[in-house]
Amino acid sequence: MSSGKFASITAGLLARKGEGQPWTQGTAQEPPRVPLAWRNEGPVEVRNDMRNEPPIAVLSAPPSAPPSILRSEPRPAPASEPPPPPPIKDKSCAVRMTMHDFERLGIVAVKDGVSRQKVLKDAVARFLDGKAREYGCACLGNSFGACEGNCSEA
């Protein structure tokens, strides 16, 4: 197949949004128009017949509520409570494993009816609880207790 010749797209063929006009073939050449974004329309002129007139007052309807209700009395500021702390998000950790171990993890997850993520989280929690008992350190336990400083003894 032979490819025909096509004109390349130039800036003269493109139009910005709102500036598109129908193409008329064979009409007289118009001078190029400045894009809308670059036009300077100048300051807005006030009509000559409106210059010397005073501004028109706007009438408002009478209030429907008695003035005692409309009058604002100072109220004590509400006690500002601190906003609740943001929820604690789980941190992420990537674990690399062989395809065989990944499949085994998937099988265990299906048999337990949970996700692979849950199986791994439970396994890590059991491991850390065992290490907390082994080292006898409160900072490794789930109780979030104060560290007793005996972490390095074991």
pLDDT band at 16 (very low <50, low <70, confident <90, very high): confident
Tell me what the mean pLDDT of segment 12-37 comes to: 69
In this structure, how many other beta carbons lie within 10 angstroms of the beta carbon of residue 136?
13
How would DSSP label each residue in 60-107? -PPPSS-HHHHSPPP-PPPPPPPPPPPPPPPP-------HHHHHHHHH
Tell me what the mean pLDDT of segment 146-150 comes to: 64
Say if CB 148 and CB 137 are below 8 A apart: yes
Q: Say if 126 falls within a structural domain.
A: yes
Q: Which amino acid is present at 139?
A: C
Q: Say if 2 falls within a structural domain.
A: no
Q: Which domain holds residue 129?
A: 99-140
Give tens-digit pLDDT for 30-80: 666 666 666 666 665 655 555 666 666 665 655 565 555 555 667 776 777
**Can you read off the two tokens belonging to residue 35?**
């894009």
Number of domains in the chain: 1
Residue 16 CB contacts under 8 Å (≥ 6 apart), including other chains: 35, 36, 37
Q: Say if 103 falls within a structural domain.
A: yes
Q: Say if 42 falls within a structural domain.
A: no
pLDDT band at 84 (very low <50, low <70, confident <90, very high): confident
In this structure, how many other beta carbons lie within 10 angstroms of the beta carbon of residue 121?
14
Say if CB 141 and CB 129 are below 8 A apart: yes
Q: Say if 147 falls within a structural domain.
A: no
Q: Say if 107 falls within a structural domain.
A: yes
How far is the C-alpha of 64 from the C-alpha of 70, rounded, in Å? 10
Say if CB 97 and CB 89 are below 8 A apart: no
Q: Say if 148 falls within a structural domain.
A: no
How far is the C-alpha of 134 from the C-alpha of 154, rounded, in Å? 8
pLDDT recorded at residue 32: 67
Q: What's 143's DSSP letter?
A: T
Residue 146 has pLDDT above 80, yes or no: no
Q: Say if 149 falls within a structural domain.
A: no
Give tens-digit pLDDT for 89-137: 888 889 999 999 999 999 999 999 999 999 999 999 999 888 888 887 7
